[in-house]
Amino acid sequence: MNDLSFTVPLWVWAAVTVGIGVMLAVDLIAHRDNHVIGFREAAIWSSVWIAIGLGFGVVLLLWQGADVSSTYYAGYLIEKALSIDNVFVFALVFSFFAVPDAYQHKVLFWGVIGALAFRLVFIFIGAELLQVFFWTAYLFGAFLIWTGWKMAFSNDEEVHPDRNPVVRLVKRIIPTDPKFHDANFFIRMNGKKVATLLFVVLVAIEATDLIFAVDSVAAVLAITTNTFLVWTANAFAVLGLRSLYFCLAGLLRRFQYLHYGLAVLLAFAGIKLILSETPVGKLPIPLTLGVIAGTIAVSITWSLIATRNPPAKADNQPTGTEARTTCDSDKTGHAPHASATTRGTHGKKPS
């Protein structure tokens, strides 16, 4: 597979990785008191993370030129778009376990660390497979197309985070108290260390992100197999995931058609990856950027227009889950208490 090739000194890898670690530390220190994060604060932090991600592309432009920079932006943009789908699932998991708003940041922070670790492993494994075995491009491409199809057409299945096999395994191995104890993952009860319900929630989030990590890394590998670009595109996109969640959680109901756009992007990435091992070769990066940006813009605009004037209820009164969603969103601006279906998960099941 032909791809961008440029030398990245070990010190650059180390500097970028240390920089990511420092940014995570800043994020943790800034929210160490577990306060409820409002929309304004989340929007400010989201702007900071997005500015850093976009700024890194400028650094690449000055260092390695336009081709490398545009390739990074294509990977960053598709990963950022897919991270919005993570938000839907996180909202569902938090709703299912009724996680208090003040504890959600801590879960998301450690969830981001786990997400970065998963992606780093998958990047090196996936890139090596694509470089050594050409047929893995067809395998990954077919997987992305299948994932896109599932995302588009399998959005009515029920989701039960507590039935996730990883969650059930943890409960079986580690003594667990089925309650929250402030923001603690572990407590001592009768002299024994016991996991709290918040730790179970963290496991559910990590297990869910393991699924996201596979298809999101594969999607970026469809753009480039340069491990440095894939890693930085994933890392800078995932860094802002926590803030993005608190920014968008109250607006999730407005993005009801976004999953179609994400499905198109995954299918496009799969087709692009397959074509890279045919006489057609890799599609031009400007075309890739155009398809990604256009698809995201159309699906978000379509969603916002379609939900601008929601139909009135016959009795003009919200009921059940809708009443809780409206109330919770209005009061906190955070995750609505959604029903336990994959509406919003778009075919990605935590269980």
pLDDT digits (tens, 9 = 90+) for 133-154: 777 888 878 888 888 888 788 6
Is 316 contained in some domain?
no
| Lowest-pLDDT choice from 8-22, 188-202, 232-246, 319-333 | 319-333
Specify the pLDDT at position 252.
64
Q: What is the mean pLDDT of residues 304-323?
A: 56
Residue 76 pLDDT grade (very low, low, confident, very high; cuts 50, 70, 90)? very high
pLDDT above 50 for 9:
yes
Q: What is the mean pLDDT of residues 277-301?
A: 82
Is 189 contained in some domain?
no
Is 324 contained in some domain?
no
Is 319 contained in some domain?
no
Is 14 contained in some domain?
no
Is 129 contained in some domain?
yes
pLDDT above 50 for 2:
no
Q: Give the span between the Cα atoms of 249 and 232, in whole angstroms.
A: 26
Specify the pLDDT at position 166.
73
Residue 236 pLDDT grade (very low, low, confident, very high; cuts 50, 70, 90)? very high
Q: Give the span between the Cα atoms of 231 and 268, in whole angstroms.
A: 21
Is 149 contained in some domain?
yes
Higher pLDDT, 153 or 335: 153
Q: Give the span between the Cα atoms of 51 and 76, in whole angstroms.
A: 12
Q: Find all residues with CB under 8 Å of 226, minimum gap 6, and list them.
A: 3, 4, 5, 6, 71, 127
Q: Give the span between the Cα atoms of 268 and 259, in whole angstroms.
A: 14
pLDDT above 90 for 58:
yes
- The whole model's pTM is what? 0.72
Q: Give the span between the Cα atoms of 336 and 334, in whole angstroms.
A: 6
Q: Find all residues with CB under 8 Å of 345, minimum gap 6, and list them.
A: 85, 88, 89, 92, 155, 159
In Å, how far are 7, 143, 184, 257 from 149, measured between CA atoms? 37, 10, 39, 14
pLDDT above 50 for 241:
yes
Element (H, E) at 57: helix 39-64
- Domain boundaries, position 254: 22-168+204-307
Strand partners, 114: none
Is 125 contained in some domain?
yes
State the CB neighbour count (10 A cutoff) for residue 191: 5
| Lowest-pLDDT choice from 30-39, 45-54, 66-75, 258-267 | 30-39
pLDDT above 80 for 255:
no
Number of domains composing the chain: 1
| Lowest-pLDDT choice from 4-13, 76-85, 222-231, 311-320 | 311-320
Burial of 5 (0-12, 13-18, 19+ CB in 10 A): exposed
Pairing of strands 192-195, 186-189: antiparallel
